[in-house]
Amino acid sequence: MPDRDLLRQCAVAAAVAGGILSGATGDYGDARKSTSRVLPANYAFTIWFPIYAGVLGYAGYQALPAQRGRQLFRRTGGPVAAAVGLSGLWVRTSSPAVQLPLIAATTTAALLGYARATPTDEAERTSASARWLVRVPLGLFSGWITLAAGAAVTELLIDRGVRAPRPGADFWGAALLASLTGASVVVTRRVPVSAAYPAAVAWGLTGTAVRTLPRYRTPGTAAALGAAAVAFAGLLAALRNTAENG
């Protein structure tokens, strides 16, 4: 009988490596040329460097023989493999019928993996390796994917020539940003696994505000307020965790 834990370790390592290779070599264009009200400024995408470093660290750590039967990786391995692997396919397809399900599946898997990283015992809670090689990387990845999903869907619609219905693109852009903010605040409050999650979302929303405010005041303001709201929710969650854990 094959060792299921060993197979999981290999599958996670392969999916993470493949997703990073595909995603890092894709052509994402120039945010300055887009009319999207949701897309962050080009500089914001540098967050992929710590994200990729983090998920590579996760993949390498979980692949160690000593971690083979660890419950933390049994809980998170599948969703992380799916999320990182699928994220590398977004840029490889232009068909809405394929890309939209990919975006939805990636976001769902990323948030599931992040939620499953919640410590279940004292050893996981106090482990520095579990924090820096699991919770922080998955927080950064799922936080950025939360915003990236909205930005990717918007870009896809724009590329397909879809025009925003009344009352216009500014309104719907602000509405989408408000929705993403609300969802991120809920996740931050209910699944306070790591401050990295709200930090990644706030970073992306700040990048959106920087890019959009000069031209599109309403969505730019919504992005700025959203960044502040998510950061504040993250601060409250961190203070609550500190109080509960002494």
Given a cut of 70, whether residue 203 has pLDDT beyond it is yes
| φ and ψ at residue 242, rounded to 5 degrees | -65, -40
* Ranges 116-120, 125-129, 151-155, 164-168: which has the least confidence: 164-168
Structure tokens at 147: 């915003």
Task: Name the nearest CA neighbour of 78 among 23, 5, 139.
Answer: 5
Distance CA 116, CA 110 (A): 10
Distance CA 7, CA 22 (A): 22
The mean pLDDT of 173-180, rounded to a whole number, is 97
Question: What pLDDT is recorded for position 244?
Answer: 73
Given a cut of 60, whether residue 246 has pLDDT beyond it is no
Q: How confident is the model at residue 126 (pLDDT cuts 50, 70, 90)?
A: very high
Residue 68: strand, helix, or coil: coil
Task: Name the nearest CA neighbour of 45 among 202, 197, 173, 207.
Answer: 207
Q: How confident is the model at residue 113 (pLDDT cuts 50, 70, 90)?
A: very high
| Chain center to CA of 193 | 14
Distance CA 39, CA 45 (A): 10
For the segment 31-68, what is each residue's pLDDT rounded down to a tens digit?
A: 888 999 999 999 999 999 999 999 999 999 999 999 99
Share of the chain above pLDDT 90, in %: 81
Structure tokens at 65: 């023989």
Question: What pLDDT is recorded for position 1?
Answer: 55
> Which helix or strand (DSSP H or E) is residue 220 part of?
helix 217-244
Residue 167: asked if its preceding bond is cis (omega within 30°), the reply is: yes
User: How confident is the prediction for the chain on average, in pLDDT?
Assistant: 94
The mean pLDDT of 17-42, rounded to a whole number, is 89
For the segment 207-225, what is each residue's pLDDT rounded down to a tens digit?
A: 999 999 989 999 999 999 9
> Which helix or strand (DSSP H or E) is residue 210 part of?
helix 196-212
Q: How confident is the model at residue 166 (pLDDT cuts 50, 70, 90)?
A: confident
Q: How confident is the model at residue 192 (pLDDT cuts 50, 70, 90)?
A: very high
Distance CA 50, CA 224 (A): 23
Q: How confident is the model at residue 2 (pLDDT cuts 50, 70, 90)?
A: low
Distance CA 132, CA 138 (A): 10
Is the separation of the CB atoms in 24 and 48 below 8 Å? yes
Is the separation of the CB atoms in 208 and 39 below 8 Å? yes
DSSP state of 25: T
